[in-house]
């Protein structure tokens, strides 16, 4: 490892792309991987050993829905045995009390539960899963009864944004120690559904006011994380803490990615843990080297005093909006394409919301039987 390259802090393991829900903002790729290509239990155990050897401290078990893997408790137990802090990122609809107890027994450290809304009908509409909210509430109670720390997260969009305060209050009522309210990030399924998800700027301002008021009101009770929407921003976020700086993502079949949307960038080749050691992939894979550091940056960024603050923002967003993954992120007000990004947002938000294209194995437009309550 070169002297100025640190080991990653955390790895997100997409154990599977299988999921009973169909959220239209899912960060999984449009071409979902099938069960037969997934890494085996033995392969995941070896990958975790390589993670620990590399110096990684945290493992996030994600998906899809990681709990559809019957070996989840075995993977958690191994993470615990080798000293990795483990976080389960789940939709909460497939786990019952015995399996939660089994995960706790295996040494699971933390649970992160996603919700779609507080309103049951809209939650079902967003997830395309009738009765989803009742299952999530029951799951959250079982997690707390098992004595596990809980984080609640929600993806804000035009259908739920007016209830941001109620979602935070729900997280408090469920005993969560942290709640994350994150505006949708537009790549993967979310960019396909951009017009169906995009809120207006006044709605974003209103949500931000509610979050700030809740932070005051609930100080000392719950930590509130808030992720602003890039399309209405003036400076980009340090996507993934900078490309290839702090995090890596491993897909169900073992490809190692600098971020979960990196496969949208044409011409990139990703190494697999099936064929190369993880340490070698982290230090010298061409995909990690491509946008690591600042040398790859366009002049506008390379000469900017923010270049080691935001690391140039999001490559996938630059590709999606500018058509060039190496361009300045259009979320930056200095980008010549910044106005294009803002116009896309204003245009999408000013129209009636179209039907969702739900996340599914075979992408196919589908009208929902459930009516949206707000738009």
* Residues making contact with ligand SF4 (CB under 6 A): 19, 21-23, 26, 28, 63-65, 91, 114, 235-236, 300-301, 304, 306-307, 310, 312-313, 328-329, 332, 334, 359
Residue 209's contacts (CB-CB under 8 Å, 6 or more residues apart) are none
CA distance 313 to 260: 15
Query: Least distance in Å: CB of 126 to ligand SF4?
Result: 9
Query: Least distance in Å: CB of 205 to ligand SF4?
Result: 22
CA distance 157 to 25: 9
Q: What are phi and psi of 48, to 5 degrees?
A: -65, -35
Query: Least distance in Å: CB of 238 to ligand SF4?
Result: 9
Closest to ligand SF4 by CB, 30 vs 279, is 30
Give strand pairing partners of 318.
Answer: none
Closest to ligand SF4 by CB, 33 vs 65, is 65
Query: Least distance in Å: CB of 69 to ligand SF4?
Result: 13
Q: What are phi and psi of 371, to 5 degrees?
A: -85, 140
Closest to ligand SF4 by CB, 214 vs 236, is 236
In this structure, the number of other CB atoms found within 10 A of the CB of residue 109 comes to: 17
Query: Least distance in Å: CB of 365 to ligand SF4?
Result: 16
Query: Least distance in Å: CB of 313 to ligand SF4?
Result: 5
Query: Least distance in Å: CB of 216 to ligand SF4?
Result: 30
Residue 44's contacts (CB-CB under 8 Å, 6 or more residues apart) are 13, 15, 71, 75
Cis peptide before 64 (omega within 30 of 0): yes
Closest to ligand SF4 by CB, 11 vs 331, is 331
User: Which phi-psi region, left, alpha or beta, contains residue 244 (left: φ > 0; alpha: ψ -120 to 50)?
Assistant: left
Query: Least distance in Å: CB of 251 to ligand SF4?
Result: 13
Query: Least distance in Å: CB of 100 to ligand SF4?
Result: 17
Q: Record the tokens describing residue 243, joined without a space.
A: 């490309």
| Length of the chain in terms of residues written | 375
Closest to ligand SF4 by CB, 207 vs 238, is 238
Closest to ligand SF4 by CB, 255 vs 329, is 329
Residue 65's contacts (CB-CB under 8 Å, 6 or more residues apart) are 16, 18, 19, 20, 21, 90, 91, 93, 94
Closest to ligand SF4 by CB, 65 vs 255, is 65
Any idea what DSSP says for residue 163? G
CA distance 358 to 337: 29
Closest to ligand SF4 by CB, 78 vs 260, is 260
Closest to ligand SF4 by CB, 151 vs 285, is 151
CA distances from 198 to 136, 185, 191, 207, 370 (A): 25, 10, 10, 13, 20
């Amino acid at each position: 490892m070169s002297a100025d390259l640190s080991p990653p802090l955390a790895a997100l393991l997409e154990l599977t792309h299988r999921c009973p829900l169909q959220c239209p903002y899912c960060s999984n790729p449009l071409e979902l991987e099938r069960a037969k290509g997934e890494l085996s239990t033995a392969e995941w155990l070896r990958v975790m050993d390589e993670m620990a050897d590399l110096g990684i401290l945290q493992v996030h078990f994600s998906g899809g829905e990681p709990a559809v893997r019957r070996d989840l408790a075995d993977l958690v137990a191994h993470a615990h045995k080798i000293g990795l802090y483990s976080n389960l990122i789940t939709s909460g609809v497939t786990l019952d009390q015995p399996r939660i107890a089994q995960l706790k027994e295996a040494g699971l450290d933390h649970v992160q539960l996603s919700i779609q809304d507080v309103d049951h009908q809209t939650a079902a509409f967003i997830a395309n899963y009738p009765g989803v909210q009742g299952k999530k509430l029951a799951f959250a109670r079982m997690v707390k009864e098992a004595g596990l720390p809980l984080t609640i997260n929600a993806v804000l969009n035009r259908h739920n944004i007016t209830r941001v305060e109620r979602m935070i209050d729900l997280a408090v009522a469920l005993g969560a120690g942290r709640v994350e309210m994150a505006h949708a990030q537009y790549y993967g399924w979310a960019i396909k559904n951009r017009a169906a998800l995009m809120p207006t700027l006044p709605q974003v301002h209103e949500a931000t006011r509610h979050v700030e008021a809740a932070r005051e009101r609930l100080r000392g009770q719950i930590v509130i994380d808030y992720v602003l929407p890039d399309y209405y921003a003036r400076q980009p976020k340090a996507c993934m803490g900078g490309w290839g700086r702090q995090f890596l993502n491993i897909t169900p079949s073992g490809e190692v990615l600098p971020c979960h949307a990196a496969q949208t960038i044409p011409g990139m080749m990703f190494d697999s843990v099936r064929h190369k050691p993880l340490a070698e992939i982290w230090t010298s894979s061409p995909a990690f080297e491509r946008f690591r550091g600042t040398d790859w940056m366009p002049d506008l960024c390379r000469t900017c005093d923010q270049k080691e603050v935001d690391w140039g923002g999001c490559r996938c967003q630059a590709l999606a909006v500018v058509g060039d993954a190496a361009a300045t992120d259009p979320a930056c007000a200095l980008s010549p394409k910044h106005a294009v990004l803002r116009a896309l947002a204003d245009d999408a938000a000013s129209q009636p919301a179209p039907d969702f294209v739900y996340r599914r194995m075979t992408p196919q437009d589908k009208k929902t039987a459930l009516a949206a309550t707000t738009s």
